[in-house]
Structure 1
Amino acid sequence: MSVLSGKGALVTGGSRGIGKAVVERLTQDGAEVVFCYEHSEEAARQVAKETGAHAVRADLGDQADLARLFAEAEARLPGLDILVNNAAVTGQMAMADITDADYERVFAVNTRAVFLATQWAGQVMRDGGRIITISTLNTQVPAPGLMLYCGSKGAIEQFAKVAARELGGRGITVNVVSSGATDTDMLRGTNPPEALAQTAAFTALGRLGRTDDLAAVVAFLAGPDGRWVTGHNINATGGMIV
C-alpha cells in the first residue's frame, strides 16, 4: 500500500515548477490531489492527465476564487489531510518603484491566501493532517528588489509557527520548507547562465536544486515519517552558504 493511500491533498500553484513536482510526488505516493493554477491552463491539463490529479483554475488574490477552490477540494477529496501552500508571485522591483497595487497583489497572493488556506485547513482537516508552506531562503538572505517577496514570505513563516501550536493537539503538523535556488523556468528566465553557475558553486552539493528535491522534502513531511516534526522551517537548499 502506498504511504499516502486514502489521503486527500490540496496543492496551490501545481501546474509548473515546485508545485508540479509536489503534485507528481504526492500522487505517486497514493494521495488524491486537487491543485490550482491561474494562467498555465495547458500545463495544468497535462499535469492532471499524467497524475490523475484534479486541476482548478483560481486567482488566489481573489477571495471568491479561493473560497471556490476550497469548496472544490472538499467535494473532490476523501477528506483533507495535506495542504501545500506553494503558489506565490515574486513582485521583483526596486523599493522606490513599488505602488499600492503592487503591494496589495503580492501580499494578497503570498500572504493573505496562505493565511486563509491555513485557517480553512484548521477547520476541515482531519486529525493527524499536514500543513506545509513553501517559503524561500531569501527571507534569511535578502536581496535588492525583493522587499515585497521577502516581507510576504516572512509573514507566512510566522503563521506556520503559531498554527503548529494551535493545531498540535489534533496531531496536525505545520511546517515551512524554504527553497534555495531551484532550477525552474522562472529562475532561468530571470537570471543569466553565469549567475546560475555561481549560485550552484555556493551550495555544498555543487548544483542547483531540482524541483523533485523540494518535492521529496514535502513528501517526507506529508507522510507518516514526518509525524514528529512541526513548527520548523526546513532549509532545503543543498547546503547553500549564507
Structure 2
Amino acid sequence: MSTVTAFPDRSAQQDTPRVALITGASRGIGAAIARRLSADGFAVVINYAGNQERAEALVAELHAAGRAAIAVQADVAEPDDVRRLFAQAREHFGRIDVVINSAGVMPYAPIAVDQIDAFDQVIRTNLRGSFLVLGEAAAQLGEGGRIIAFSTSVIAAAFPSYGPYIASKAGVEGLVRVLANELRGRGITVNAIAPGPVGTDLFFHGKTEEQIQRIAKMPPLERLGTPEEIAAVASFLAGPDGGWINAQILRANGGFA
C-alpha cells in the first residue's frame, strides 16, 4: 500500500527551510508534535499505519494554516515501508532534517508463556520499528540532523502487566545511545523522550477511571501530562537550542519517576 496526501501548493514549500518526518503522527503525541513543529516553521511528513482519515484531516488542518505537509502510509516495522516513507518524503520536499519516531503500541500483558503474541506485537512495532526508522534516519540525515526516539518513564515504575512494553522501550534507550556513538563526527544528535503518564488514547485504553486517577496522582504535580507538553520537548530537541543535547533520555514526566 502506498498512500501520499500532499500539501497542494508546492510553491509554498520554498519558504520552509527544514523538514521533519514524524512516525505515528495521525493522533496523540505524534499529531501534537506535527502541529508544534509545523508552527515552528518545519514542513512535516505525517506518517500513519492505518488511520488514513485522521492523517488526512491533520494535513488539511495544517494546509488551512498555510503550512506544508504530506501524509504517508507506512508500517515502521517493515523495511520496505520505511525505505518508501523516507523516499517519498525526500521526493516531495527534497530533504529530511529531523526524524521523530513516535509510532508505538502498548498492550498490557503479564510475563507468561501464553502472552508471547502480545510480547511479539509490542517488540515488532516499538523496538524493531525504532531500529528500522533510526537506521534509515542515520543513513539519510546530514550535518545538523536530529533523530528523536520515544521511550517511557514507566520503566522505573515497573508496573505489573507492563513487561513487554517496558522491554521494548528499554531496548529503544539502548539503541539511542549506541547510534549516537555510531554517528560520531557527523554532527547529528540522537536522543529519546521518555514521557510520564500523558492523556492520550493510548494511555486511556484498557484502564478504569480509578486506575487513571491513581496514576495521575503519582507525579508530584498530581496530574497527567498533555501531548502538547511532550511536543514542546520535541520542539526543543529539534530546534536550535537542542544542538548540544546528545545521547540523552529526557524524562518529561512531572516528576513521575
The alignment's TM-score, normalised by the length of structure 2, stands at: 0.87
1:31 aligns with 2:32: no
Structure 1 unaligned regions, length at least 5: none
Matches within 5 A, 1:160-175: 160-175=176-191
Looking at structure 1, the residues matched to 123 and 46 of structure 2 have their Cα atoms a distance apart, in angstroms, of 21
1:203 aligns with 2:203: no
Identity %: 38
- 1:84-119 Cα offsets, whole Å, 9 max, x none, are 0110111322222323x4443322211122112111
Q: Which residue of 2 aligns with 1:46?
A: 57
One-letter amino acid of the counterpart of residue 90, structure 2: E
Q: Which residue of 2 aligns with 1:98?
A: 115
Q: Which residue of 2 aligns with 1:139?
A: 155
2:26 to 15, 22, 25: 15
1:86 aligns with 2:102: yes
Matched-pair contact (CA < 8 Å) for 1:34–1:76: no
Structure 2 unaligned regions, length at least 5: 1-14, 64-68
One-letter amino acid of the counterpart of residue 202, structure 2: M
Looking at structure 1, the residues matched to 74 and 27 of structure 2 have their Cα atoms a distance apart, in angstroms, of 15
Task: Indicate how the Cα distance of structure 1 residues 226 and 201 shifts in structure 2: closer, same or farther if over 3 A, else same.
Answer: same
Looking at structure 1, the residues matched to 122 and 213 of structure 2 have their Cα atoms a distance apart, in angstroms, of 29
Looking at structure 2, the residues matched to 168 and 22 of structure 1 have their Cα atoms a distance apart, in angstroms, of 27
- Alpha-carbon shift at residue 197 of structure 1 (Å): 2.0
Which one is further off, 155-164 or 197-206?
A: 197-206
Aligned-pair RMSD on alpha carbons?
A: 1.7
The aligned length equals 237
Matched-pair contact (CA < 8 Å) for 1:34–1:77: no
Matched-pair contact (CA < 8 Å) for 1:61–1:105: no
2:170 to 135, 140, 154: 154
The alignment's TM-score, normalised by the length of structure 1, stands at: 0.92
One-letter amino acid of the counterpart of residue 75, structure 2: D
SS at match of 1:118: helix
